[in-house]
């Protein structure tokens, strides 16, 4: 009976949150889960593996009703966390475009989420949404136009009337970051990186990059750009994943804020047309998800490839459905979004092998993969609300949450708890 009362309380609290209309109310879209998750396919470790590691699926926030988006089913494609709010982007598969943005209040310590407000579109795929200085910016692709961005004022989680709608050059907006109070966006094939003035909405070219897929702004203002592997334009085949044409490899390139190349590193993978690839960066390292190329970790100072791991595979599932879509960082670990394979955890460990670099040698060891087996496909991951404490005998105790954009299952909240020995050195990005 206690468990039933607990679930009822969560549902009741969620139902009190503001919503745009009844079919998209928190009461209907938020599904409490409380399901323990198992990790499988762990790799050998040279460091002390976690003394304990627990994962629990706690909530799903389902995509909005199709009636809100032109009777087209939308899927959770991206999540960004800012403070105690999550901004979830929804898009469709292929054409025509439709999408939505949710502003989710994560509740007390992220434990009781509810939907503060939403915006719905019948002609606009939302590929990502970010918060900056009182506004939410939604980037994606609009029917018959291509790359497009919308600006909404937001106060206490409530989205206001659209303040700006800006068409951009490019097939689709894929990545968005805040730079010096303005924004920089990667806008897909043959359009590179463009800046958006946060006040005037003026768009300007920053760098020319073929198939720009994601962008991050470093602490000193430099730009980190991930581009996909594709055919040269002269071959007549764009973003090819066949032997036709001359392929260019995927790259991570570091630029100054003025667009001058600091370094550029060729990688392997990211060759599937219109597939997902993403970046995460810290103070020393960065990591890039490369679709069919798996996951690579790089040194921020010189671009050296520190380690690469292959994408996860599932027996009986086509490899293109289990590619490495995105990556996020948590203390001492990386988390990947692996499509139908679910979510994987990798411990960052010191290593005696690797390239000569300005960075210390490291490697990635798989702690395992949790596969939901419920028809979901994890497109992106983020993290938040992590705390650290010291237990008996100096045991290091970490607790926090992983947030997954899980396609048809929407916004997925996963509790993560793990313990490390006192002697274990945490290596983070």
DSSP per position, 336-401: EE-BTT-EEEEEEEE-S-S---SSPPEEEEEEEEE---SS--B-EEEEEEEEEEE-GGG-EEEEEE
209 three-class SS: coil
The residue ranges of every structural domain in the chain are: 2-420
Give the pLDDT score at 247: 60
Query: Cα separation of 216 and 179, whole Å?
Result: 9
Residue 235 tokens read as 């071959």
DSSP 45: -
Give the pLDDT score at 9: 33
Give the pLDDT score at 145: 84
Give the pLDDT score at 108: 76
Is 195:179 a contact under the CB 8 Å cutoff? yes
Query: Cα separation of 213 and 341, whole Å?
Result: 22
Query: Cα separation of 172 and 139, whole Å?
Result: 8
Mention every residue, 6+ apart, whose C-beta is less than 8 A from residue 330: 383, 386, 398, 400, 402, 416
pLDDT in 10s for each residue of the chain, 429 residues = 333 333 323 333 333 444 445 667 777 899 999 999 998 877 665 566 788 899 999 999 999 999 999 999 999 999 999 999 999 999 998 778 999 999 999 987 656 889 999 999 999 999 999 999 999 999 999 987 889 999 999 999 999 999 999 999 888 999 999 998 899 999 976 678 999 999 999 999 899 888 899 999 999 999 999 988 765 444 444 444 445 445 667 899 999 999 999 999 999 876 666 667 899 999 999 999 998 889 999 999 999 999 999 998 888 888 888 999 999 999 999 999 999 999 999 999 999 999 999 999 999 999 999 999 898 999 999 998 899 999 999 999 999 999 999 999 999 999 999 999 998 889 999
Q: Which CATH class is domain 2-420?
A: mainly beta
Is 117:34 a contact under the CB 8 Å cutoff? no
Residue 300 tokens read as 């921020």
The alpha carbon dihedral of 133, 138, 144, 146 has a sign of positive
Give the pLDDT score at 184: 96
Q: Is 428 exposed, middle or buried (0-12, 13-18, 19+ CB in 10 A)?
A: middle
pLDDT tens digits, one per residue of 190-219: 678 999 999 999 999 899 888 899 999 999
Q: If we measure between CA atoms, which residue out of 336, 328, 337, 356 comes closest to residue 429?
A: 328
Give the pLDDT score at 110: 59
Give the pLDDT score at 273: 62
- pTM, two decimals, is 0.88
């Amino acid at each position: 009976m206690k468990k039933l009362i607990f679930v009822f309380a969560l549902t009741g609290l969620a139902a009190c949150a503001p919503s745009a209309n009844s079919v998209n109310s928190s009461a209907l879209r938020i599904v409490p889960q409380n399901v323990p998750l198992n990790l499988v396919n762990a790799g050998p470790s040279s460091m002390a593996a976690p003394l304990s590691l627990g994962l629990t699926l706690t909530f799903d926030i389902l995509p909005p009703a199709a009636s809100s988006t032109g009777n087209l089913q939308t899927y959770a494609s991206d999540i960004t966390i800012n403070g105690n709010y999550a901004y979830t982007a929804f898009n469709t598969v292929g054409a025509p475009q439709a999408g939505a943005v949710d502003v989710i209040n994560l509740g007390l310590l992220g434990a009781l989420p509810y939907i503060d407000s939403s915006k719905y579109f019948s002609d606009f795929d939302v590929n990502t949404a970010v918060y900056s200085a009182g506004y939410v910016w939604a980037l994606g692709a609009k029917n018959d136009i291509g790359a497009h961005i919308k600006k909404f004022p937001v106060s206490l989680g409530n989205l206001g009337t659209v303040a700006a709608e800006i068409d951009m050059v490019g097939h689709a907006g894929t990545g968005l970051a805040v730079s010096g109070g303005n924004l920089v966006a990667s806008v897909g094939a043959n359009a590179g990186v463009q800046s958006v003035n946060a006040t005037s909405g003026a768009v300007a070219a920053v760098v020319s990059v073929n198939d720009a897929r994601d962008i991050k702004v470093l602490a000193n203002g430099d730009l980190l750009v991930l581009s996909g592997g594709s055919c040269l334009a002269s071959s007549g085949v764009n973003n090819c994943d066949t032997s036709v044409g001359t392929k260019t490899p995927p790259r991570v390139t570091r630029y100054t804020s003025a667009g001058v190349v600091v370094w550029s590193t060729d990688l392997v993978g990211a060759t599937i047309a219109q597939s997902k690839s993403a970046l995460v960066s810290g103070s020393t390292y960065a990591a890039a998800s490369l679709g069919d190329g798996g996951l690579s970790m790089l040194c921020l100072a010189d671009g050296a490839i520190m380690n690469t791991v292959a994408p996860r595979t599932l027996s009986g599932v086509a490899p293109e459905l289990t590619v490495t879509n995105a990556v996020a960082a948590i203390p001492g670990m990386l988390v990947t979004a692996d499509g139908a394979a679910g979510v994987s955890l990798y411990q960052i460990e010191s290593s005696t092998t690797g390239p000569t670099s300005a960075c210390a040698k490291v490697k990635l060891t798989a702690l395992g993969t949790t596969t939901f087996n419920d028809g979901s496909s994890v497109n992106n991951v983020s993290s938040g609300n992590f705390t650290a404490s010291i237990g008996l005998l100096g045991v290091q105790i970490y607790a926090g949450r992983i947030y997954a954009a899980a396609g048809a299952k929407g916004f997925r909240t996963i509790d993560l708890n793990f313990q490390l020995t006192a002697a274990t050195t945490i290596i983070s990005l």
